[in-house]
Amino acid sequence: MSERLHPPGFDDGNDENLRQLLREVGARDLPSADVMHEVRSAVHGEWQAVVAQRRTRTRVIRFGIAASIAVAVLAITFALRFATEPGAPVASLARVDGALQIAVDSGDHWRTAAVGEPLPKGAMLRTDEGTTAALDFGDGLSLRIAAGSLVELKSRDRVSLDGGAVYVDAAPSMQPANDRSLVVETLYGSIRHLGTQYEARAAHNRIEVSVREGQVEIVNAGQTFNGSAGEQLLIAGTGGPERRTISPQDPRWQWATDIAPVFDIERHPLSQFLAWVSRETGKRIVYASPEARVRAEQLILRGSVQNLPPEQALNAVLATTPFKHQNNGAEIRIEL
């Protein structure tokens, strides 16, 4: 604590004492004109700097407030937009055998999806043990969902497989350099097709990726693995894959073949229909003669093979034509 010093007899509350003190001190000499000028100049310069600093700070504060308001307005605008608009469709339900369940609002409410229904981003899809389904992503890309599966549609080029199995079919016309590759995410890695047909199956402690045609790329724990047609890759944890062989005609593919999206034969040549049968069965089409090939390219089909599995559809279509066929296991021979 500081102590105040006063002349003897001084009383803080006595005005007369204060006047006496001033008389004793006497008048102070005024500084020279030059000194006064320097003082005024220094004070004026400091005053201008303070004023300029305050104005700058005011402009910054005002600009900051305006920018904050603009950002807030944009954020609210976009939030309201995405909160009020439903998720954009990423695929459609092309076919279902049984009852496919769908939940759009975070899985709170499940209902039965209808064939042809657009499926929005963020939708959860599940199948029971008696249901399979085929989705159409457009541009010749389809995804088939096995029985007992749970899938989330995260975007047009990304889905999450939380259980069960899916089958990806990318048409041969989709080239890896310019296609919209569909990525399937699983607990043990993400799979991207490189123009192919493959099955991804999620088990409780691993994933199994079976490649029927083309190639796949699997990314797991920072590592990238490739799989080619005829390979089955088993991945558990962060280690490398265990590789096995699998035939294009293996019974493992049958569930995906049975739920294949319907081929519209109306006004399409027989040769295109036969190419579809070949892709769906994994069997090579062999023409018995050049004439048989030419005739197949010229013959235009009419009608429908709605919901018939590929081999049954083949029997039904060829019965209305002059062609015959022989099924030799790995190939289908077409004869006149």
Q: Distance (Å, rounded) from C-alpha 243 to C-alpha 246?
A: 10
pLDDT of residue 81: 38
Comparing CA positions, the residue from 158, 121, 150 lying closest to residue 133 is 150
Q: Distance (Å, rounded) from C-alpha 102 to C-alpha 125?
A: 5
Question: 46-83 burial, b if ≥16 CB within 10 A, otherwise e?
Answer: eeeeeeeeeeeeeeeeeeeeeeeeeeeeeeeeeeeeee
Letter for the amino acid at 178?
Answer: N
Q: Look up the pTM and report it.
A: 0.72
Consecutive H or E run containing 103: strand 101-103
pLDDT of residue 2: 40
pLDDT of residue 240: 83
pLDDT of residue 307: 82
Domains of the chain (ranges, CATH numbers): 89-254 (2.60.120.1440), 262-335 (3.55.50.30)
Count of CB atoms within 10 A of residue 36's CB?
11
Phi, psi (5° rounding) for residue 113? -80, 150
pLDDT of residue 328: 87
Block means of pLDDT (10 residues each) for the chain, 336 residues, are 43 50 45 48 50 50 43 38 59 97 84 96 96 94 97 96 96 56 93 92 91 95 94 88 96 96 95 96 97 98 92 96 94 97
Are the CB atoms for 299 and 288 separated by under 8 Å? no
Are the CB atoms for 148 and 180 separated by under 8 Å? no
